[in-house]
Amino acid sequence: MDLHGAERVESQNQPPKLVPHPPKFGTSFLRTCFNGLNTLSGVGIISIPYALSQGGWLGLLILFFVAILCCYTGFLLRRCMDIDPLIKTYPDIGKLAFGAKGRALVSTFMYLELYLIAVEFLILEGDNLNKLFPNTSFLIFGKKVGGKQCFVVLAALVIMPTTWLKNMGLLAYVSAGGVLATLVLIGSIFWVGEVDGVGFHQKGMLWEWSGLPTAISLYTFCYCGHAVFPTIYISMKDKSQFSKVLLVCFALATISYGSTAILGYLMFGQNVMSQVTLNLPTRPLSSKIAIYSTLINPITKYAIIVSPIATAIEDTTPFYDSRPISLFIRTILVISTMVVALTIPFFGYVMAFIGSFLSISVSILFPCLCYLKIYRVHKHFGSELILIMTILAMGFLVAVMGTYTSLREIVKNLQLT
């Protein structure tokens, strides 16, 4: 009897036994890389020069640090999922770590983050289309809608059919288009500066303390793919290669973010806007290509972002296998994000809020907390525990400061409208 009791106590002090995921039909390594890179290289790329202007040139070091940090927490999520093959989503990890309350908390933050990113996509479409076609208006149900508002509605209608796709393999083709659009965007911005006369003459600032919370929030937003990582991981044919997928995606995304930040900041300095495309002159062909590439990005990314939300809602209905019900739910999701985008059309400040309050929680704090609980790292003092506790302390501090700053600016702008 004592021997069995000792064995039981010993087993409780050990990390849970890993259950390997057997290879099965799913998405190939290359397609998974497209999905992952498309998730990471999102609309944040057009705000990265603005983020650099907020923190100064040394902010590039923070960008690289945030990239390493978020890649590491991605590894932590993967290890948490390897515990049990029944884990399919991020909320499942929260439940394994902290029970029903953990699932509820993770679900709330994760789905709210994804939802607001989808809202950002529509705001982006409205801003850039309005720059290309100013003074445009449409009649909708007998009411004249003009400016950015009409383009937000139009973008929602164009994007809607992409959300009806549920197969991640099919979405990989859409994701490939998003990756290509990102490359074209970077090339076009470089062309505007080098060939079309804008130049790279701005010196910028070395360091800016006051803008640091906003800069870090925006940098974190750029790497906020963690809510989608479990969906991408589950869709893989060979799940053992997921760590390589993360390394490839984070490395390529950081190169694209860093190069765009440097180009935009050298071109426009402290005058760079929350979307660098809004600084570009509209006449040169390269500027039009850059803006059109920006417009393609949300169309290719929207579906993969809202897919976890739609799936979660569908699973709660008794008709979760019904195609008409699925189409209805996904259509209502698009319409609701359109309404929010029309109500709060402040791209930069909404992005900073997502980054500070939601992305830091979903991409940094929650993976660390879940990993600590599941693997009982807190019971074994060592370098890993010190590292994770340091990450948690820094993440919490930045989240509080960034959330306060972004909410203050959003309220200020709402009062002015």
* C-alpha distances out from residue 227 to 36, 117, 283, 364, Å: 11, 11, 39, 11
pLDDT at 12: 40
Q: What is the three-state SS of 202-271?
A: CCCCCCCCCCHHHHHHHHHHHCCCCCCHHHHHHHECCHHHHHHHHHHHHHHHHHHHHHHHHHHHHHHHHH
Confidence of residue 417 (pLDDT cuts 50, 70, 90): low
For 309-331, write each residue's pLDDT tens digit: 888 888 887 766 778 888 899 99
Share of the chain above pLDDT 70, in %: 89
Q: Does the model's pTM come out above 0.75?
A: yes
Share of the chain above pLDDT 90, in %: 38
For 151-200, write each residue's pLDDT tens digit: 898 899 999 988 887 665 666 676 677 788 888 999 999 999 999 888 99
Lowest mean pLDDT among 171-175, 253-257, 302-306: 171-175
- If you ran DSSP here, which 8-state letter would residue 279 be given? G
14 pLDDT more than 60: no
Confidence of residue 8 (pLDDT cuts 50, 70, 90): very low
Burial class (CB within 10 angstroms; exposed 0-12, middle 13-18, buried 19+) of 17: exposed
How far is 350 from 123, CA to CA, in rounded Å?
Answer: 10
For 50-91, write each residue's pLDDT tens digit: 999 999 999 999 999 999 999 999 999 999 998 888 888 889
Q: What is the three-state SS of 27-70?
A: ECHHHHHHHHHHHHCCHHHHCHHHHHHHHCCCHHHHHHHHHHHH
More confident residue, 27 or 139: 27
Most confident of 26-40, 254-268, 316-330, 379-393: 254-268
pLDDT at 41: 79
300 pLDDT more than 90: no
pLDDT at 321: 74
What number of other Cβ atoms are within 10 A of residue 184's Cβ?
16
